[in-house]
Amino acid sequence: MAEQINTLPYKANLEVYSETLQRLAETDRNIIAVTSDSRGSGKLVPFGKKYPDQIIEVGIAEQNLVGVAAGLASCGKKVFATSPACFLTARALEQIKNDVAYSNNPVNVIGISAGVSYGALGSTHHSLHDFAALRAINNITVVAPADNWETAQAIELAANIDEPVYLRFGKKPMPLLKENNNEKFEFGKGRVIAEGNDVLIIGCGETVYPALEAVQILKEKGIAATVVSMHTIKPLDTALLARLASTCKAIVTVEEHSIYGGLGEACASYLLQHGICKPFKIVGIPDEYTVTGSQGEIFDHYGINKEGISKVVEALLK
């Protein structure tokens, strides 16, 4: 439940990414970070100082970044190609499609400062398309960890599997969503964070926390909600989705992405094609010129917060 959120000091998932990569590199010289003038924004300065022979800087050249990463991966290196998500999944989309996915090079494509993390820099720096673009490409797993624990687990797993992965990180410090008692993390397997039979709320990345905050507001109004961290957008945990959808009265998805082509449409497509029809709403960024402001201001404007999510739930149930 919302009252069980861990309140201990926490970090941005991006910081945990860097720390986990440093720990893995201590015993594995095949771990290689490749950056496109994003060592600082990717929190990889400490990694570069500790392991100067295991980091490559290509400059502001995202297409080269992915090409170099694919070449290294083809030689047996465990590569983490790190760059702002807005540029990485737009300028270098062809290289991700052909050099990584089509060629089956096990590159870990790391999209940093994703969604609207860059806030006031405006639409040019927002990545609201990356789920949609990458979901349409065969042979790449798409992941958006929600908290520090999911992030550490995802990086460890990505370093030890032989397949392409896209991992998406924002900049905001994220609380631990729940205590993890020997819980197993797997790509393609969602996590149930809170349980209730009235409504199913599915989020990913930094939107899971406001979804969990909404649980308390709904509880005070007599509404019991299940919250799922669907950290893997592709492949989607369809077994969990079908099971939980069959027992609830309404479904809400929440994402820091366009309402087109992301988590919400992935869930809706599966449910409709399998005859599971419930009141359904996607909370995300609408198809319009995105407002400019901080991430928090943009979330508030579009109702990607506890108040907005709870209002959507109430409207659906009515």
Q: Where are the domains of the chain?
A: 8-168, 191-317
- Give per-residue pLDDT as tens, 206-231: 999 999 999 999 999 999 999 999 99
- Give per-residue pLDDT as tens, 132-168: 999 999 999 999 999 999 999 999 999 999 999 999 9
Helix (H) or strand (E) run with residue 182 in it: none
Question: Do 8-168 and 191-317 fold alike per CATH?
Answer: yes
Match 């998406």 to its residue by tokens: 168
CATH classification code of 8-168: 3.40.50.970
- Give per-residue pLDDT as tens, 101-122: 999 999 999 999 999 999 989 9
SS3 310: helix
Q: Does domain 191-317 have CATH number 3.40.50.920?
A: yes
| CA atoms of 3 and 8, how far apart (whole Å) | 13
Largest CA distance in the chain: 60
